[in-house]
Amino acid sequence: MKLLKRYLPVLLLLFPTFAHAELQIVATLPALGQIAAAVAGEDGKVRVLARVGQDPHFVPPKPTLARHLANADLLMTAGLALEGGWLPPLIELSRNSRIRVGQPGHFAGSDAVEMLGTLEKADRSMGDVHPEGNPHWWLDPLRAAKTATALAGRLGEIDPDHADAYQLRAALLRKHLHALVIEWQPRLVDLPPVVSYHDSYRYFCERFAIPVAGFIEPKPGVEPSTRHLDDLVALIAARKVTQVWVEPYHLGRLVKRVAKLSGAAVFTMPDSVEGEGADGYLSMIEQLLESAAGRNQ
């Protein structure tokens, strides 16, 4: 026993498998990666497939992304087929059975929260709709908090030794997000309606009671006609809209044309920002709130 105690430090250096191995977590989108990192803490390493400012619907399925997935213990997605055009081939290419749909290593945030915008029937005439619901749930901080709690539970199933630590970190994030909502809701009362390019901000707007007058896209994924834009400019005047919200990847000639004709200001509203863990996610929400209040044009 004395010899074991004497040489234990050396044995640990020679055989690093004795030490705790971090969970390998992959998130599809930057904001999801920040939520995952906030919950995983020092017990997990998080990689993100999409870049900040990249359209989550259209991420190039590069082989390097499949390599990230190959060793993942858990894959976190937005769900509702948001990543359906590019993620399934990467999962197949990774040959990692742990992260396939239906396995413990596949975690869709949409499964943890109530969805908005569900449809009983949908067809191609309606554009690129998601009949199961609007997939941009992470822009609501309270849904993000609920997802973090569910994620902590799933990580605890995969890694029971650190289950309490995951729950504690999720509870801390939840506390910060609830406090942020309590602080900001009274400050955004009676804002004028906004127009947005795509229906990306529905969860954010409903959480903070911000009315939405219309969209530059007549239907999801459908480019607007001249008549639609003319009608939208008239609507902006009639509803006294002062802000046009646009994702970084949709900022282009159509948005600038609507702003020029209507006099409304264009606000680039991120669905992700650079930053680590909870700090990164909170920074994104705070940027959205500051812009909604008209402070960061």
Q: What are phi and psi of 27, to 5 degrees?
A: -115, 145
Which of 122, 150, 182 marks a domain boundary? 182
pLDDT of residue 126: 45
Distances 235 to 105, 160, 244, 282 between C-alpha atoms, Å: 47, 55, 12, 33
Q: Cα–Cα distances in Å, from 45 out to 22, 78, 130, 135?
A: 6, 19, 31, 25
List the one residue out of 146, 152, 141, 88 whose CA is nearest residue 114: 146
Do both 36 and 141 map to the same domain?
A: yes
CA-closest candidate to residue 166, choices 176, 153, 185, 147: 153
Domain that residue 200 falls in: 186-292
Report, as an integer, the average pLDDT of 95-123: 88
The residues near 288 (Cβ < 8 Å, ≥ 6 apart) are: 139, 201, 204, 269, 270
Tens digits of per-residue pLDDT, 258-291? Answer: 999 999 999 999 999 999 999 999 999 999 999 9
Q: Looking at the structure, tell me whether residues 197 and 283 fall in a common domain.
A: yes
SS3 21: coil
pLDDT tens digit sequence for 145-200: 999 999 999 999 999 999 999 999 999 999 999 999 999 999 999 999 999 999 99
Please check whether residues 66 and 212 belong to one and the same domain: no
Same domain for 87 and 138: yes
Q: What percent of the chain has pLDDT over 90?
A: 82
pTM of the model: 0.89
Summarised one tens digit per residue, pLDDT across range 208-252 is 999 999 999 988 888 999 999 999 999 999 999 999 999 999 988
- What pLDDT is stored for residue 131 in this prediction? 66
**pLDDT of 128 over the 80 cut:** no
pLDDT of residue 294: 84
